[in-house]
Amino acid sequence: MIKEISHPILKDRLTLMRCKETSSKDFRQAVEEIATFMTYEIARDFPTKEIEIETPITKCTAQILADEFIVVPILRAGLGMVSGVLKVLPNAAVGHIGLVRDETTHKPIEYYKKLPPNISNKKILVVDPMLATGGSSSAALQMLKDAGAKNIIFVCIISAPEGIKKISEDHPDIPIYTAAIDDHLNENAYIVPGLGDAGDRIFDTL
């Protein structure tokens, strides 16, 4: 399932991210803001449960989020989204998966994995700004399934049709949320029009 989240504020921040003159500071801020707004929109579908509380006036029944959450950024670029997601889900635990694309084959190479305990009964938001070939995100989703995760969603900012197809085929059970579906990949497997290398632009390592 692919769900494109459309909102004027998202479009505005996305344009800032795409623009090649945008500084790392402004790029980072836009990534964080987009992650916050996307999480807020995605959370419309999250179940709630009733609890009994006492206000200063009286006892009443109130609602809280039914799930516990884990955010898992795909390093490096996914790190830029974590603080934005945590603004909406402040009690979430954070796991990390380190993957980097080989520059020639474009296949992901794993270099780090650290996950919180008890992931099987928590809702997991895997975050990465870019879904290009889908190699990195598909590998990360498989690593989480292998570790016992059962309730996963994937949140990316810009996606390519090629990556959407791969995730839909490899992980038909995992919803993909994106703020934009771009045109295609170029010969270097970069998204067109895209925004260039998200990790380099977040961390000013161009």
Please list the active-site residues: 101, 105, 197, 200
Size of the site for ligand URA (CB under 6 A): 9
- Site residues, ligand PRP (CB under 6 A): 74-77, 100-101, 106, 108, 128-137, 163, 189, 197-199
Based on the shown chain and the rule CB under 6 A, indicate whether residue 197 belongs to the binding site for ligand URA: yes
Q: Give me the least distance between CB of 23 and ligand URA, in Å please.
A: 17
- Backbone phi, psi, residue 142, to 5°: -65, -40
Residue 67 engages ligand URA in binding (rule: CB under 6 A)? no
- Minimum distance from residue 100 beta carbon to ligand PRP (Å): 4
Of the residues 130, 143, 164, 202, which one makes contact with ligand URA according to CB under 6 A = 130
**Residue 135 interacts with which of ligand PRP, ligand URA, none, CB < 5 to 8 Å by class:** ligand PRP
143: nearest Cα among 78, 69, 74, 70: 74
Q: Which does 190 bind (CB under 5 to 8 A by kind): ligand URA, ligand PRP, none?
A: ligand URA
Q: Measured between alpha carbons, how far is 137 from 82 in angstroms, rounded to an integer?
A: 16
Q: Per the structure block, which two tokens stand in for 10?
A: 């998202």
User: In whole angstroms, what is the distance from residue 68 CA to residue 64 CA?
Assistant: 11
Longest dimension (CA), the chain: 65
The stretch among 30-38, 55-63, 171-179, 186-194 that binds ligand URA (CB under 6 A) is 186-194
Q: Which one, of 185, 187, 203, lies nearest residue 104 by Cα?
A: 187
- Closest by CA to 178, choosing from 201, 189, 194, is 194
Residue choice 132, 141, 143, 156 for contact with ligand URA (CB under 6 A): 132
Residues forming beta bridges with residue 113, ordered by sequence position: 97
Q: Judged by CB under 6 A, does residue 203 bind ligand URA? A: no
Nearer to ligand PRP, 99 or 119 (CB): 99
Q: Taking the complex as a whole, how short is the minimal distance between the CB of residue 40 and ligand PRP, in angstroms?
A: 22
Instruction: Write the single-letter amino acid at 158.
Output: I
Dihedral sign, CA of 138, 141, 145, 150? negative
Give the β-pairing of 184-185 and 48-54. Answer: unpaired
Task: Name the residues that contact ligand URA, by CB under 6 A.
Answer: 77, 130, 132, 190-191, 194, 197-199
